[in-house]
Structures are given as structure tokens and as C-alpha cells.
């Protein structure tokens, strides 16, 4: 699946990531990027770029995007990182 967010004002940082990381995320989404959905959580997606994986929520109603987590594979447990991301927005994320 490909995403292309025309209105970059709808892309928000939900966890206070470094400004350069958030700028890269916005650029990827506004330029068109291949994403994959999280099979356990509706409206949650992953975008991989090189060694980084961006984990984000995409509102099906408003089209807003909320960056939840960024990590490099092999640096920490994916499950632990996602648990932290989920705790950041418990109202918008469904548990499996």
C-alpha cells in the first residue's frame, strides 16, 4: 500500500521525536511511501526506510497521521517499543 499525505499539517508527532526524524517522516509521507498495516491493530501502519521503522496511527475519519515510534531493527525488542507507543495513545489504538 502507498500513502501520499498532501496536507502535511495533518502529520503530527505524538512522542516528541528529534526534529530531524520528524521532518524525515513528513517528507516520506508527503512524497509517497510504501507502508504496511499492523495486522493486530486497525489504523496502525509501519513505514520502513533504510534501517529505520516508523510506526504511526492514521485516522480513517480525519486523515490525520500521528507518529508513535521510530526504531532500528535489532535495537530493542519490537514488542517493548510498540507497547510504549500504544500507551501513548490508548484511546485510538485497539488491543489484539
41-51 confidence digits (pLDDT tens)? 889 999 998 88
Average pLDDT, stretch 16-22? Answer: 90
Average pLDDT, stretch 14-35? Answer: 91
The domains found in the chain, sorted by start residue, are 2-88 (3.30.2310)
Q: What is the pTM of this model?
A: 0.76
Q: What is the pLDDT of residue 25?
A: 94
Q: Are 1 and 43 in contact (CB under 8 A)?
A: no
Amino acid at each position: 500500500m502507498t500513502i501520499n499525505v498532501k496536507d502535511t499539517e495533518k502529520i503530527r508527532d505524538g512522542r516528541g521525536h528529534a526534529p530531524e526524524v520528524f521532518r524525515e517522516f513528513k517528507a516520506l509521507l508527503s512524497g509517497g511511501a510504501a507502508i504496511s498495516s499492523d495486522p493486530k491493530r486497525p489504523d496502525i501502519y509501519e513505514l520502513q526506510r533504510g534501517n529505520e521503522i516508523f510506526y504511526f496511527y492514521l485516522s480513517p475519519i480525519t486523515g490525520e497521521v500521528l507518529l508513535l515510534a521510530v526504531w532500528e531493527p535489532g535495537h530493542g525488542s519490537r514488542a517493548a517499543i510498540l507497547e510504549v507507543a500504544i500507551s501513548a495513545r490508548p484511546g485510538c489504538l485497539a488491543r489484539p
